[in-house]
Amino acid sequence: CTKTYTLNSGYTIPAIGLGTFVADDGKESEVGDSVKFALQNGYRHIDAAMYYKNEEDVGRGIRESRVPREDIFVTTKNWNDERDDIEGALNASLARLGLEYLDLYLIHWPVSWKKGTEDVDETLDYITVYKKLQPLVKAGKVRSIGISNYSQPKIEKLLADPEVTIKPSVLQIEAHPLLPQPELFDYLTKENIIVESYSPLGANNAPLLRNETIIEIAEKNGVEPAMLLISWGVQRGAVVLPKSVKEARIISNLNTFTIPEDDFATLNNLANVEGVHRVVNPPWNDFVN
Ligand code: A2P
């Protein structure tokens, strides 16, 4: 899949990016190898985060791939307790990644904690912290900025703020056929904000790959369930961020096909039939709405 989108910042983003959050299994160097392998096999988009505690390893993978920096779209995210000095946090992420600039920097969750704690800092609300990203664009350290896990009411308030002069380019959220969030998706499309879908397979152990309807539609079309899910996200116009540390899967997750109209409609309606299922639900999810 070589599809790309043009962000409202004018930059281009590849529709499929490699996710780098790996559940803590002690194999810390795995991600660097996955990043290197992915880049050497056609990926041009890597999605990192300070919270994943592996930016150095991601940076190593980027360097070892020998793919030119300017050909790669690199995202990282500002964690909840890095809000008192966002520029310092960005510099630290850049140093760990070994990069001069980021393609995209995101506010990871719409809640701020005092440094090193999980105590909410009310003075650093989700709009205030977003505004602190704007000077980083002007300084040339970040090409595009955006948000993650913000609800529609929060985004509406953010966009209505007169001091928000650079629109977020993306909203990164959990999105798959059991959590399609169609109203939010349509709202963002109207606002020219791209949706980035994390956990497109349902995160750890990929539970959506065992969903009977998904298996049935995949079989009918002669593809693997993972390809169906990734294709669904791309076909609706989202960025999709599948993650794998297995070489064969990294390669196959970059392949998409065109889902026939009727099957696409069935997938779009799946959560209405089977119920909505959110898989990523940390305690700080309470701050989303
Ligand atoms: P692994 O890293 O061992 O391949 P998500 O992208 O929704 O976060 O899902 C990630 C999970 O899905 C991981 O457990 C990953 O395991 C697994 N996974 C990724 N790609 C595939 C695939 N093509 N087929 C089966 N499982 C996959």
Q: What is the mean pLDDT of residues 23-30?
A: 61
Nearest CA to ligand 1 atom 13: 204
| 52-66 tens-digit pLDDT | 999 999 999 999 999
Domain that holds residue 280: 4-284
Nearest CA to ligand 1 atom 26: 206
Q: Which atom of ligand 1 is nearest to the CA of 200?
A: 7
The pairing of beta strand 12-14 with beta strand 4-6: antiparallel
- Residue-level pLDDT at 283: 86
Q: Does residue 279 form part of some domain?
A: yes
Q: What is the mean pLDDT of residues 165-194?
A: 98
- Residue-level pLDDT at 122: 95
List 104's β-bridge partners, or say none. Answer: 75, 144
H or E segment to which residue 38 belongs: helix 30-40
What distance in angstroms lies between residue 233's CA and the mean position of ligand 1's atoms? 15
Q: Does residue 165 form part of some domain?
A: yes
- Residue-level pLDDT at 34: 97
- Is it the case that residue 276 has pLDDT exceeding 70? yes
- Residue-level pLDDT at 29: 60
Q: Does residue 107 form part of some domain?
A: yes
Total structural domains within the chain: 1
Q: What is the ipTM of this complex?
A: 0.98
Would you say the pTM of this structure is higher than 0.90?
yes
Q: Does residue 250 form part of some domain?
A: yes
Q: Does residue 289 form part of some domain?
A: no
Pocket test for ligand 1, best of 22, 47, 249 (most atoms within 8 A of CB): 249
Which residues are catalytically annotated?
Answer: 52
CATH code of residue 167: 3.20.20.100
For residue 47, give the 3-state DSSP assignment.
strand
Residue 288 — very low, low, confident or very high, per pLDDT cuts 50/70/90?
Answer: confident
Backbone angles phi, psi at 269, to 5 degrees: -100, 0
- Residue-level pLDDT at 287: 81
| 137-161 tens-digit pLDDT | 999 999 999 999 999 999 999 999 9
Q: Does residue 221 form part of some domain?
A: yes
